[in-house]
Structure formats: structure tokens, C-alpha cells
Amino acid sequence: SQTIHQWPATLVQPVGSPLSLECTVEGTSNPNLYWYRQAAGRGLQLLFYSVGIGQISSEVPQNLSASRPQDRQFILSSKKLLLSDSGFYLCAYRVGLVNEQFFGPGTRLTVL
Amino acid sequence: QQQVKQSPQSLIVQKGGISIINCAYENTAFDYFPWYQQFPGKGPALLIAIRPDVSEKKEGRFTISFNKSAKQFSLHIMDSQPGDSATYFCAASGAGANNLFFGTGTRLTVIP
């Protein structure tokens, strides 16, 4: 069976500090991978998606970036965090033709 | 522009009652309509999904009703239980697309 992991689970960072969030998927190969952000009490905003190693598509221009160094690893990064980067970051994967996405447990990021 | 409009924003239902959440979309190219359930501090979990070739899909106490001509779909939770208290998101996607367009969510509270 497939599982998706995210770490860390929670993170408190000062403004201007760097960020690295990691997502890994087990039990499948060549998944599509996605990063979403969910602001408090809001819906989900797609940030990046990847259809393969080194292939990244950005949906929203911002100070975040994503990388996919391995088939089942997806990383969300920032060089300098802003207050507005606070939120709940979710990674998701998809393995079939239908856009059926499965989400990880999320990372709660607070920028102070 | 919100691709998928969801209502109500919040819903309170007595235990044993029926919870109904509605969503509407504009893009006729959408052909996949999932519903997600999210508990506080957790990632969304895929609950049930429908394709436009059927008007209804039932899984246990959860039913999706789909009206293609009206471009609307809804989630019905029969015999609602306190354990169903969560935020529910509808979403929509087009054939071959990577984007899942989410509604803004409905916070359901089932009171004993």
C-alpha cells in the first residue's frame, strides 16, 4: 500500500530565515506530487506540482520554490520567510490517470 | 475567480439527521468531482468521488448527487454522527489536468 510522509509536523521560524519541508511517498513509483498551502479556515491553494524528477510547475508566484531530487521525494523551500508564509502545508500524490490525490499529514508553519 | 463555489460555510446538524453540502462549478470541462474530509490538524482524506456519467454515487452513509445540466453536485451524509464533525471540501478537475480546484470548505458540527 502507498503511504505519504511529511516532516517536520510543526515548525516555528523567524522572519527572514530559510525553510525546507520534505515529503516522501512509499509504495509507488513515478507519482505526480503536489504542494498545497492552507491558510487558517480557508481552502487549499496549489503551490507547485511535479510529474517527474526535476520537473516542477509553479502555480503561484511567491518566494517559495520546490524541488524533486528523487522520484518519491518532494521538497518545498524558501531562502527568506515572510510573515505571510505562515500556514498549513500539505503534500499530495497521484498515481493514476484520474486526478485522485491523496494528502499527507501536513506541516504547520508559523513565521514570527 | 473561484472555480468551485461551496455552501454553506458552516452547518450544525442533530445526531441522526441528514447533512447536505452543495457545490457549483462553471467549467464544463470538469469531469472528476471528489469530496474530502478534514479533521483539525490533519490532512484532507478522500471521502468519495464521482464522474459526470452517473447522477449519484453512494458509499455507506455518504452519497454524492450530481446534476450535470445545473453544474452542481452535493454531498449527503445520512444518519449524521458526532464523529462526522469535520470540515468538508468539494473539488473539481478536468480530464488530464493536474489542478484540483477546491471549494472553500464547510465546517460540519453534529451535536449529540
Cell numbers for B47 = 471521502
pLDDT in tens, B62-80: 999 999 999 999 999 999 9
Q: Is the pLDDT of residue B99 over 90?
A: no
Task: Please tell me the predicted confidence (pLDDT) of residue A98.
Answer: 84
3-state SS, one letter per residue, for chain A: CCEEEEECCEEEECCCCCEEEEEEEECCCCCEEEEEEECCCCCEEEEEEEEECCEEEECCCCCEEEEEEECCEEEEEECCCCHHHCEEEEEEEECCCCCCCEECCCEEEEEC
Q: Is the pLDDT of residue B95 over 80?
A: no
Q: Please identify among residues 60-89 of chain A the ones whose CB lies closer than 8 Å to any CB of chain B.
A: none
In whole numbers, what is the pLDDT of chain B averaged over residues? Answer: 95
Q: Could A100 and B89 be called an inter-chain contact, meaning their C-beta atoms sit closer than 8 Å?
A: no
Return contacts of B66-72, CB within 8 angstroms, 24+ apart. B66/B33, B70/B24, B71/B24, B71/B25, B71/B26, B71/B28, B72/B22, B72/B23, B72/B24, B72/B25
pLDDT in tens, B18-65: 999 999 999 999 999 999 999 999 999 999 999 989 999 999 999 999
Question: What is the nearest CA distance from B17 to chain A, expressed in angstroms?
Answer: 25
Q: Is the pLDDT of residue A60 over 90?
A: no
pLDDT in tens, A33-54: 999 999 876 789 999 999 999 9
CA dist., res. B87 & res. B2, Å (int): 18
Q: Could B97 and A99 be called an inter-chain contact, meaning their C-beta atoms sit closer than 8 Å?
A: yes
Mutation site for B-interface testing, chosen from A34, A59, A99, A100 by largest number of B Cβ within 10 Å: A99
Closest CA to A95 of A26, A21, A6, A5: A26
What is the residue type of A81?
L
